[in-house]
Amino acid sequence: MFAGRARWEKASFLFCTGSLIAFIANLTFTAWAVTRPGSNIHNGVGELTGVTSCSRAKSINTGIHVLINVLSTILLAGSNYCMQILSAPTREQIDEAHRKSKWVDVGVQSVRNIFGTVSAGNALLWVLLSLSSLPLHLFYNSAIFTSISANEYNVTVVPSSFITIQNRSALPANFRTPRLNILYDAAISGRLIRMDREECLDTYARNFQSSYGELLLVTPDPTKDGTDLPSPHRHPATLALANFGCGIRQPYQWMCTGRLETEGICGTPCEDVIPEFRADPDQWQPFGVGARGGVAECYALPTEERCRLLFSPTLCWVVTGLNLVKGVLMLVTALRGRRKEQGGVILTMGDAVASFLRVPDEATADMCLASKEIVVAGTRTGLWSREPRTVTGWRRRKFVAASSRRWMVCVLLYVLAISACAGLYQFGQGYIAGDKDFASLMALGLGTLNSKTLMQLETMGSGFDNLLSNVVIANSPQAIMSMLYFTYNGLFTSISLATEWDTYANHRKGLRVSAPAVSAQRATYFLQLPFRYSLPLLATSGVMHWLISQSIFLVFVEVYQEWIEGSGVTVRILDYTTCGWSPAGVFSVMMVGAAMVVFLVASGARRLNPYMPVVGSCSAAISAACHLVPYEKTAYKEPLQWGATNHEGYGKGHCSFSNSEVEPPIKGVMYS
């Protein structure tokens, strides 16, 4: 299938193959997941694993998402590659445009070409590839996710005699309930874990408790009859998802009930107070136990961690379908390659130079020093100027490789995205209770779930509708980043094109062509952007996508409610879906985004040769530099250099690519 095909075609087939492999993997996985006996699909969510430890579920989830990001990177790179192929003009289309004093883009992905030059079939494929990227990035990362297990447990203050006394009838009636009798038996038999105060604080001061349930707080001094001891306190973990007008409370807010009595419910968050309790455990006086001597020790009931790896069948099928669409579109693009080659497709700047040297374009004759700026100005008036020109000797910068509008759009989009991150950072910071200094916010961790940073959304709740809404919210930045990547990649491609063009003024070398190379020509798998740029850009894009996933993420909480009734235990599971965010993640995205803008601007600030016209991706300006002297019929196959082929006694000269000796143009001499 690859015999006789150009290397760019082989590369497009490789991308197509990668896309189809991804489709087969997605299809196989989805079909297995929805049909396996233990899938337990309910309310739009199914199980991939049964109840397991949270660390194991997280490890499996991380491995799966590494694979997902590898596959999505392949799809992103393949889409960009095929879209650039589809926007490339043929020689016939270029000639037709030049006859009308118009020009087309060469060597870059061009929306301008799509809607004004290439065939309707290419334009349709380009649009479909572009549109299929948006929902794919919205849903791919959230099709598989882990549940966060949280136990809803009771906290009961008991006298030390509750544990030590054997005559149970001596205890007050409210400490001889079936539930407390079971807990007493568990304590005596060793099933309750004894903890000192520091251990108790460390164990239960967690955003979502998944390893322990029922808790007994033991006071050191029993009362005469126990009637002044508080009744058992039921502590629902769902309080972590309730908005009290001053942020979402920690699930272990009960630990700070003594502090809340003095500061109110919107006082210092319990998370910020726990370090004080660890430093001086005597300060820890939940439920007013200070009047009875404080907490002496704790007894906790260990539970099995009940995290699960979950999936959304609907989202998996959507991703699989979009993957198939992309694979088919890439395949059609690859299969159209042979016909495009026969039609003289111009994929790279080297293709354009070779084509114009082989068959000169009379529409640009006597314009050898025409730059893109001159051609664009002539296009506006409908007539290209053929007046002889002299070199200016100005050392312009690579900014001129693309239009000021293109630079403005790209940089402005990145600045707006970074500004939006900064705005969201400030907005979210306002909803965080307690310490808000930079160090405290960074200490919350990268991508770490914390009740302080749970989003208080209208979409918070259970069911597939809430799941889908939160998936869109969590992954919208991913789709935006993909669009920004295409813009950035296109602008950097323009800089790369200008750099390659500029080297021909200083060095003699063969043309880099997309068709099979002949003689001194060079063939390559990439189109315009070299691997030394394209691979780091892809890697940076992957890092940005990962950082975004750590900045805003889906949160699926399963709350396990247990009731001890008689000798039995009743369990009910409630699920809640929302989004979480990470200040450290948002800050990291801003820093990497700013670094990308700085790198782009620094690349554009580098200087170009002072004599060679800056042509950018303008087909007419490239054509104007490719009018050979008559005796160089096969120069396009040989090592070439651009310069003055003659000065005509310092009268009227000519500049062109040539495989003969050339000289730098001379200021003051007119060339045409």
- The pLDDT value given to residue 441: 86
State how far the Cα of 271 lies from the Cα of 259, in Å rounded to an integer: 12
pTM above 0.75, yes or no: yes
| Cα dist from 429 to 421, 441, 454, whole Å | 12, 8, 12
Q: Do 335 and 251 form a contact (C-beta atoms < 8 A)?
A: no
Mean pLDDT of the 244-261 span: 67
Choice among 72-81, 203-212, 341-350, 408-417 with the minimum mean pLDDT: 341-350
One-letter identity of residue 541: S
State how far the Cα of 315 lies from the Cα of 311, in Å rounded to an integer: 8
Residues in the chain: 672
- The pLDDT value given to residue 259: 67
Q: Which residue has the higher pLDDT, 317 or 565?
A: 317
Choice among 165-179, 330-344, 429-443, 625-639 with the minimum mean pLDDT: 330-344
Give me the half-sphere count of Cα atoms (radius 13 Å) on the Cβ side of residue 425: 21
633 has a pLDDT exceeding 60:
yes
What are 451's two structure tokens? 């009740």
Cβ neighbours around 421 below 10 Å, total: 22
35 has a pLDDT exceeding 80:
yes
Mean pLDDT of the 469-491 span: 85
User: 595 pLDDT band (50/70/90 cuts)?
Assistant: very high
Mean pLDDT of the 541-546 span: 84
Using DSSP's 3-state secondary structure scheme, residue 651 falls into: coil
Q: Is residue 295 within a helix (H) or strand (E), and if so which, with residue range? A: none
Q: Is residue 151 within a helix (H) or strand (E), and if so which, with residue range? A: strand 148-159
State how far the Cα of 600 lies from the Cα of 89, in Å rounded to an integer: 27
Mean pLDDT of the 456-470 span: 69
Of 640, 619, 618, which is closest to residue 629 (Cα–Cα)? 640
State how far the Cα of 294 lies from the Cα of 262, in Å rounded to an integer: 17
State how far the Cα of 156 lies from the Cα of 161, in Å rounded to an integer: 14
CA dihedral sign, ordered 91, 93, 98, 104: negative
461 has a pLDDT exceeding 70:
no
What are 33's two structure tokens? 């997941």
What are 230's two structure tokens? 């508080």
Of 250, 234, 259, which is closest to residue 157 (Cα–Cα)? 234
Cβ neighbours around 310 below 10 Å, total: 22
Q: Do 158 and 187 form a contact (C-beta atoms < 8 A)?
A: no
Neighbour-count burial of 568, counting CB atoms closer than 10 A to its CB (0-12 exposed, 13-18 middle, 19+ buried): exposed
Give per-residue pLDDT as tens, 501-510.
988 988 899 8
Q: Which of 3-7, 32-36, 542-546, 628-632 has the highest mean pLDDT?
A: 32-36
Of 465, 458, 416, 389, which is closest to residue 594 (Cα–Cα)? 416
- The pLDDT value given to residue 586: 93
Average pLDDT score over the chain: 81
State how far the Cα of 445 lies from the Cα of 53, in Å rounded to an integer: 22
Instruction: Enumerate the β-bridge partners of residue 158.
Output: 218
DSSP string, 147-216: PEEEEEEEEEEEEHHHHH-S-GGGS-GGGSSHHHHHHHHHHHTT-SEEE-HHHHHHHH-SSS--SEEEEE
Using DSSP's 3-state secondary structure scheme, residue 389 falls into: strand
- The pLDDT value given to residue 98: 92
User: 249 pLDDT band (50/70/90 cuts)?
Assistant: low
Cβ neighbours around 639 below 10 Å, total: 14
Distance from chain centroid for Cα 561: 36
Cβ neighbours around 637 below 10 Å, total: 18
Phi-psi region of 190 (alpha: psi -120 to 50; beta: other; left: phi over 0): left
Choice among 99-113, 263-277, 465-479, 599-613 with the minimum mean pLDDT: 263-277
Mean pLDDT of the 155-180 span: 78
Q: What is the CA radius of gyration of the chain?
A: 34
Residues whose CB falls within 8 Å of the CB of residue 533, separated by 6 or more in sequence, listed in order: 492, 496
User: 526 pLDDT band (50/70/90 cuts)?
Assistant: low
Neighbour-count burial of 342, counting CB atoms closer than 10 A to its CB (0-12 exposed, 13-18 middle, 19+ buried): exposed
State how far the Cα of 411 lies from the Cα of 603, in Å rounded to an integer: 13
What are 515's two structure tokens? 């068709």
Mean pLDDT of the 83-111 span: 90
- The pLDDT value given to residue 237: 46
> Both ends of the chain: CA-CA distance in Å?
46
Q: Do 613 and 367 form a contact (C-beta atoms < 8 A)?
A: no
Mean pLDDT of the 461-468 span: 70
Give per-residue pLDDT as tens, 640-670.
999 888 776 545 788 899 888 888 888 888 8
- The pLDDT value given to residue 116: 83
Choice among 435-439, 445-449, 470-474, 559-563 with the minimum mean pLDDT: 559-563
Give per-residue pLDDT as tens, 288-298.
776 666 788 89
Residues whose CB falls within 8 Å of the CB of residue 310, separated by 6 or more in sequence, listed in order: 45, 46, 47, 48, 144, 145, 146, 147, 556
Instruction: Enumerate the β-bridge partners of residue 389.
Output: 671
Classify strands 297-302 and 193-195 as parallel, antiparallel or unpaired. Answer: antiparallel
State how far the Cα of 581 lies from the Cα of 441, in Å rounded to an integer: 11
